[in-house]
Amino acid sequence: MRILLLGNPGAGKGTQSSRMQKNFNITAITSGNLLRQNIAKGTTVGKIAAKHMEHGEFVPDDIMIELIGDELQRNKRQNWLLDGFPRTINQAMALDDNLNLSGQSLNLVINLQVPEEVILQRIMDRWIHVPSGRVYNLSYNPPKIHGIDDVTGEKLTKRDDDNPDIFKIRLQKHHALTEPLLEYYNKRNILITCNGRTSDEIYPQIESELIARFNVISPNNQVKTSTEKNLLKVATRENL
């Protein structure tokens, strides 16, 4: 599995990524987490990125390509998931060049389609634990103690760009950049779109696609979906 997650800011890419990691043998590489970790550490890349993000701007391509390229080298796994990168055609082509050299090109792109009014409420309720990248939402995934990470007990923070004004700027720019990306991957026949208002509506669509496309069984080899049940029935008949 060599997967890319696409979707509007706040569409739930982090939540879906966490579920996929939990239920399948896959490593997630999340551009947003990499950026925030570098900002928190005060690295040179982090300082440059912070200036752009404070104004609702996307980080320049060369910075993102450097970050993701280094992370891919550190995570030479058979199964991986990219979340938040690439955002532009130039990034996509640079990524393809990088992956083709190692013989592990993308084989699935998942586009998350969520109504914009739902996304706006999500970002207003969102809190994060920067060191781990864990994401909480007061509406449907709140921390056990308000403002505190469940695992470490450390304080949660709000993202600087999680406010309505900056969100509208990000959304406009995202649409302009994403449409060409969707066309690019659709021509390669590796793009699917999953629609829904909640993560629980969208995740079963993702799970069924992974099971059908990669012939894997989710979580802990337990049969939980109709797709899995059908696969098991076929396998059982063949063994009789």
Is 90 within a domain? Answer: yes
DSSP letter (8 states) at residue 148: B
Binding site, by residue number, is 10-15, 31, 36, 84-87, 91, 126, 135-136, 159, 170, 199
Is 8 within a domain? Answer: yes
Q: Of the residues 19, 122, 126, 134, which is catalytic?
A: 126
pLDDT tens-digit readout, 68-127: 877 777 777 678 899 878 888 888 998 888 888 777 789 999 999 999 888 888 888 889
Is 212 within a domain? Answer: yes
How far does CA 80 lie from the centroid of its chain? 11
Is 123 within a domain? Answer: no
Distance CA 235, CA 120 (A): 45
Q: Assess whether 126 carries a catalytic annotation.
A: yes
Distance CA 187, CA 209 (A): 19
Q: Of the residues 19, 87, 122, 134, which is catalytic?
A: 87
Is 125 within a domain? Answer: no
Give me the pLDDT at residue 219, please: 57
Q: Assess whether 197 carries a catalytic annotation.
A: no
Domain count, the chain: 1
Q: Of the residues 13, 19, 122, 134, which is catalytic?
A: 13
pLDDT tens-digit readout, 5-61: 999 877 888 889 989 999 998 988 888 788 888 888 898 888 988 888 887 787 888
DSSP letter (8 states) at residue 22: H
Is 82 within a domain? Answer: yes
Structural domain of 15: 1-113+163-234
Q: Assess whether 74 carries a catalytic annotation.
A: no
Q: Of the residues 19, 122, 134, 170, which is catalytic?
A: 170
Q: What is the pTM of this model?
A: 0.71
Q: Assess whether 87 carries a catalytic annotation.
A: yes
Binding site for AMP, by residue number, is 31, 36, 84-87, 91, 159, 170
CATH code of the domain in which 74 resides: 3.40.50.300
User: Which one, of 112, 30, 96, 22, lies nearest residue 64 by Cα?
Assistant: 30
Binding site for GTP, by residue number, is 10-15, 126, 135-136, 199
Question: Per residue in 67-102, is it b (16+ CB within 10 Å) or e — as a string?
Answer: bbeebbeeeeeeebbbbbbbbbeebbebbeebeeee
Q: Of the residues 159, 173, 213, 224, which is catalytic?
A: 159
